[in-house]
Structure 1
Amino acid sequence: MSELLSVADAEQLIRQAMPVFGSERVALDAAAGRVLRQIVRAEREQPPFDRVMMDGIAIAMSSSSRRRFMLSGLQLAGMVQQTLSDPDTCIEVTTGAMLPRGCDTVIPVEQTKRDGEYYLLADDYAPTIGQFVHPRGADCRTGDVLLEPGMCLGGPEVAVLAGNGVAEVEVAAIPSVTIIATGDELAGVDQPLLEGQIRGSNDRALAAALRACGFDDVQLARVADDLAATTATLAELLYTRQVLVLSGGVSVGQRDYVPEALRTLGVRQVLHRIAQRPGKPMWFGIGPQGQVVFALPGNPVSALVCAARYLLPALQSATGLAAEPPMPVCLESAVDTNPALTFFVPVHVHHDASGRAMATPLPPGTSGDFSSLPRTHGFVELPPGLAVVPAGTVATFYRW
């Protein structure tokens, strides 16, 4: 039996072995939430002209001291640039319009009074030259770097892409994932239950966790506890998919065929068995063409803990997707553990009167008992060394 790896060593080995999934070009409307893989430069100056910032009138204040201006034209947003030929006149303007030639100041409509063909400035209003004019190039200059690789594309970034004519954008590729549930005892969610069967839930739970993190290309598969069937199914999926996530069949039982099938198919074992509870039997490896294989234990709590602690962070890091960092919480009550193992304990998190994050441990009876998990927000990681972790201990919290 191989020696158990520490959680820290397992995490490092996975990080070092993870491949880069490359990039792809997608339409701008499909880019939200993706990670940029190109430099984006300014298409032209922004704004591309001196831009009017308020509805009102545009005047040549540097050439006239008048407070009463005859209306000589109209400049709407989207119109070609008009010209103020007489500095003693004004041009009506709207927000977003080009500042007419010959004008240098905008007077808001609220500070004027219309008198026939004339505009009069309010008696107590003192304008300044250049007010309410957004100068050409004030935001950026042609060729300026606006976005860089590695940025996650949210609303502001998509606005920059659209504003600079980027209709297609290069982003980090999202790998294809197949989740394979193993076990003769599993029945589908819509199938009748026979004696000795349970409904499979791990595959749906893992798929939901992946999709919530931005991994949309997720498929489900199922295989019986049979070496030939397991090998054949994995061989086909290794040929067509980039990431395989197995649930069950990974321990050392007489019908746990997953490690043997993966060895037969040339998948290099990076790790097997970690000094942790739950999730000790976890297996991870890399296929002949760089395929990623996570083989998780079959008990539901074990599978979800290993997914949140290893699978999701590894995929997020490899694709550049933003991950919610773990945070410190304070245990409200003591937890019994095994000094030789890292313990992952489901908790409910709330904040006390001082704003400190407090975690109420809600450990399930076994790693197969998952009905209480919806009352938890995630789990804390309790390092080895103590048989009882006392209340008040600050622990690292990972969200489901």
Structure 2
Amino acid sequence: MTERGDDAKPGFDEARAIVTASAPPPVELIVPLADALGRWTAADLFAARDCPGFNASAMDGFAFAADATAAATAQMPVALAIAGEYRAGHSSTAAIPGAAYPISTGARMPIGCDTVITTERARVIEKSGQRFLVFHMPETIGRNVRCQGEDAQVGALVLTPGQRITAEAIGALASYGVSDVPVFRSPGSRSFRPVTSWAGHPRRAPFPMPMAR
């Protein structure tokens, strides 16, 4: 601190240092995710689960195994029998080899399927009461599929201390399985009890941190 006369006013840096030194330390607490909007994070936040939590279709269309189309050509097309249907919220079952399945956006991929062709691109024919999905060229494996953990894997760092929690952040935290959030208490707030077990450690997660894979 620089020397000054008794009547001299402190400079900006000195005044800021005086205010900072006299201010009480911020109080940290844990609130439910629904109450965290507009607050400031007090610790690192980590994904508690993979997002998405399973292999899912990114488009409406048909799910199938790409290697079943490997021999498809314009002269010798490959036809996959259409069986069953998968919609969002339904469980996944093992696919029949060489079959294709109608699937909606967000639905779990049938076990054994790794690719989706969109409804707009699909060519469907019917023969003897059975519908077939026809390919005139091989399809690229993984097309139109969101793989498990593609957005974030368990243990991934989502937010760091000092970030404001927006509506978008609330949605992301919910999808990552975060239910409780460490925040700084708002001035004058009496709604929450401060957390003391991890106070003074702003970079330590207040909940069991998932192990990164």
Superposition pairs of residues 332-351 of structure 1, within 5 angstroms = none
Distance 1:40 1:74 in 2: 38
Shift in Å, 1:122: 7.4
Shift in Å, 1:94: 0.9
Greater Rg over alpha carbons, structure: 1
Superposition pairs of residues 199-238 of structure 1, within 5 angstroms = none
Residue of structure 2 equivalent to 1:55: 60
- The structure richer in helix per residue is 1
Residue of structure 2 equivalent to 1:248: none
Superposition pairs of residues 19-168 of structure 1, within 5 angstroms = 19-64=24-69, 65=72, 66-87=77-98, 89-116=99-126, 117-121=130-134, 127-168=139-180
Shift in Å, 1:35: 0.8
Contact 1:21 1:175 in 2 (8 A): no
Distance 1:136 1:167 in 2: 20
Distance 2:100 2:155 in 1: 35
Code of the aligned partner of 1:6:
P
Distance 1:16 1:133 in 2: 54
Q: 1:61 to 1:50 in 2, by over 3 A?
A: same
Shift in Å, 1:24: 2.1
Distance 2:117 2:48 in 1: 31
Contact 2:29 2:183 in 1 (8 A): yes
Q: 1:133 to 1:115 in 2, by over 3 A?
A: same
Shift in Å, 1:129: 1.7
Shift in Å, 1:7: 4.2
Residue of structure 1 equivalent to 2:197: none
Contact 1:112 1:119 in 2 (8 A): no
Code of the aligned partner of 2:172:
V
- The structure richer in strand per residue is 1
Shift in Å, 1:152: 1.6
Contact 2:125 2:134 in 1 (8 A): no
Please, which of 176, 179, 182 is the counterpart of residue 170 of structure 1? 182
- Per-residue deviation, residues 144-200 of structure 1 (Å, max 9, x unmatched): 222222222113321232113333322101121xxxxxxxxxxxxxxxxxxxxxxxx
Residue of structure 1 equivalent to 2:196: none
Residue of structure 1 equivalent to 2:198: none
Q: 1:121 to 1:110 in 2, by over 3 A?
A: farther
Q: 1:35 to 1:142 in 2, by over 3 A?
A: same
Whose RCO is larger (CA < 8 A, sep 6+)? Answer: 2
Distance 1:41 1:23 in 2: 17
**Partner secondary structure for residue 84 of structure 2:** strand
Contact 1:111 1:121 in 2 (8 A): no
Shift in Å, 1:18: 1.6
**Partner secondary structure for residue 13 of structure 1:** helix
Shift in Å, 1:119: 4.2
Q: 1:144 to 1:86 in 2, by over 3 A?
A: same
Shift in Å, 1:81: 0.5
Code of the aligned partner of 1:142:
V
**Partner secondary structure for residue 81 of structure 2:** strand
Shift in Å, 1:34: 0.8
Contact 2:51 2:176 in 1 (8 A): no
Superposition pairs of residues 9-24 of structure 1, within 5 angstroms = 9-24=14-29
Contact 2:63 2:101 in 1 (8 A): yes
Shift in Å, 1:2: 4.5
**Partner secondary structure for residue 7 of structure 2:** coil
Shift in Å, 1:107: 0.4
Distance 1:166 1:24 in 2: 15
Distance 1:109 1:126 in 2: 17
Residue of structure 1 equivalent to 2:195: none
Specify every segment of 5 or more residues in structure 2 that has no aligned partner in the other structure, as ranges: 190-213
